[in-house]
Amino acid sequence: MSLLTLIFFACILTAPASANNSTLDTRQLVPEFEMGLNESDLTGAITPDLDHGITINDSEFSAMSNDLVEGHLLNHDDILTTNDPMDFYFFSVPDERNIILRILSNNSNYRVDIYEVDWSTGTAYPTNFGTSSGNTVIGSGLYASDWALVVTSTGTVGDTYSVQMNIASSGGTIISASAALQSVVVRYPNNDLYLNEHYIANTTEAANTNPHLDWERRFYFSYDGNYQSRTHDISDARVSYISTRANYQSSYASSNNVVLIVLNIDTLFTYFESEFRSGPPTYYYSSFVDTTGRTTPRRLDSIDLARNPDILVYDLNTNKVIDFVSNLNYYYARGIEPAPVVTYYD
């Protein structure tokens, strides 16, 4: 090992955790959490009007197959014209689902409504569930059946639109959604949090609720009978809230499919660093003092929550935590590793 390498590690690793910390603004990584849904977006049960069905005739409208609804998700752009004033998007659901739906257009006359389809008679029945351009509507109890989204205009046509839908969750309450509704956070009465159909965490304050969120990062560097070590450990995670789906890139860990998990009070955090030099003279140093000057193991408290959020990065591809983004993380607090880049999906 070269002398230059040894000097580099000595400069980086021998400084105590609490010395000369920079500040990582983790709030910039979680802007999506502020984009909640309004109670006015909620509707009641979805009910078809069996007295006003329309006959499905392919010559009168543009029919989009359920191939466009992938994984119970839809995000599609199109246009209404005088020759094509009505677009249908057909899909089926195998069991009861939540639905969140939106249409976006510069034309305020555009709207989207959901129809129940009876293929045996070739009839589509309107329901009480729909919305006009620029609005979001949320419903529960989209029961197992064949359905169609119908895009129409109450006035002029000729403008483009985007229709967005998510029916990937069942039960619970949708509490937040991504920009184009392709991922939603659902909370259940037992405090489980799901992203679409994927279980993420539980917000119960009881101990050992989220053992799958335990995380550890160990560093050990030895040379010529000497060593330096550093360990971070998160356990007994208490969860405040979660993000929608994102791409995460950092120098330590990266994934194209993550959820950010903001930790709550009483999460257990441990930091330990040590160094040994064989000498002469022999030298040994160890400390449990974290980057804020407080001794660990300790529980996160109101002082921690008053600072920037402490975030676990949960990889949906592996169902494991891959990083801890926080000013309690030595590598971020010291500026040794640059701030991660988080890009939210639509």
Measure the CA–CA gap between 163 and 136, rounded to whole angstroms.
11
What average pLDDT score do residues 327-346 get? 95
What average pLDDT score do residues 273-283 get? 93
Shared domain for 211 and 250, answered yes or no, is yes
Shared domain for 219 and 292, answered yes or no, is yes
SS3 163: strand
In a domain, 200, yes or no: no
Res 336: pLDDT: 94
Q: What percent of the chain clears pLDDT 90, i.e. is strictly above it?
A: 77
Show Cβ contacts of residue 290 under 8 Å, excluding neighbours closer than 6 positions.
17, 18, 269, 271, 296, 298, 328
Residue 62: exposure state from Cβ atoms within 10 A (0-12, 13-18, ≥19)? middle
Instruction: Using DSSP bridges, classify how beta strands 198-202 and 123-132 pair: parallel, antiparallel or unpaired.
Output: unpaired
Domain range spanning residue 337? 3-35+206-344
Q: How many domains does the chain have?
A: 2
For 89, the enclosing helix (H) or strand (E) is strand 87-93
What average pLDDT score do residues 34-59 get? 71
State phi, psi for 210 to the nearest 5 degrees.
Answer: -125, 60
In a domain, 264, yes or no: yes
Q: What percent of the chain clears pLDDT 70, i.e. is strictly above it?
A: 86
First CA to last CA across the chain, in angstroms?
A: 47
In a domain, 189, yes or no: no
Measure the CA–CA gap between 63 and 85, rounded to whole angstroms.
11
Measure the CA–CA gap between 134 and 245, rounded to whole angstroms.
23
Q: What is the residue-averaged pLDDT of the chain? A: 89
Q: CATH code at 75? A: 2.60.120.380
DSSP 288: -
Res 40: pLDDT: 45
- Please give the C-alpha separations between residue 67 and each of 64, 102, 156, 192, in angstroms, as whole numbers: 8, 19, 29, 31
Residue with tokens 């000013």: 327
Res 261: pLDDT: 97
Res 45: pLDDT: 80
pLDDT tens digits, residue range 140-199?
A: 889 999 999 999 999 999 999 999 999 999 989 999 999 999 999 999 999 999 999 999
Shared domain for 171 and 229, answered yes or no, is no
DSSP 310: P
How sure is the predictor about 301, in pLDDT bands with cuts at 50, 70 and 90? very high
- In terms of phi and psi (left: phi > 0; alpha: psi -120 to 50; beta: otherwise), the region of 236 is left
In a domain, 198, yes or no: no
Shared domain for 295 and 329, answered yes or no, is yes
Res 42: pLDDT: 55
Measure the CA–CA gap between 165 and 71, rounded to whole angstroms.
11
pLDDT tens digits, residue range 220-267?
A: 999 988 999 999 999 999 999 999 999 999 999 999 999 999 999 999
Q: Find, among 203, 133, 192, the residue nearest to 163 by Cα.
A: 133
Shared domain for 248 and 266, answered yes or no, is yes
